[in-house]
Amino acid sequence: MQSSIEYKYDLNPQALIEIADIGQFAIQASNDDGFEYYFAVVSDLGFANIYQWGPVFPDNHMMLDEYSFTKVNIPYKERKIELAAKKFLNNYKYRITEAKIITIEEASERALNEQINII
């Protein structure tokens, strides 16, 4: 039986996303399978609320069985927020190939049936 094994993965960044305000932003990310994932940060009074959810099918905003929504409230520290965003964008399970900044309002609309309003 023959087999092919992949090796020599490229560990260098292939893309860059610019964030104007690290305390208030949202990211819409997608992979080659057509799934979308979301990450949002809303800061107020020395704390940052970090939201993550997905995967979602973009056309009908349908949730998958493995859909998850998380909210973490941390003391506002730019470095911790940046690390959380990096972890989100480089999560090997998501296999993100494209990402863009969207408004908090757009992210809130795409939070689907969640009870928590991120605005």
Query: pTM higher than 0.85 for the full model?
Result: no
Strand blocks (E) in 1-119: 24-31, 36-44, 47-57, 62-75, 96-102
The tens-digit pLDDT sequence of the chain (119 residues) is 665 566 655 666 678 899 999 999 999 999 998 899 999 999 999 999 999 998 888 766 566 677 888 999 999 999 999 999 999 998 988 999 999 999 998 888 887 655 445 65
Phi, psi of 12 (to 5 degrees): -90, 145
pLDDT at 60: 63
**Residue 24 structure tokens:** 């208030």
Structure tokens at 107: 């992210």
- pLDDT given for residue 115 in this prediction: 43
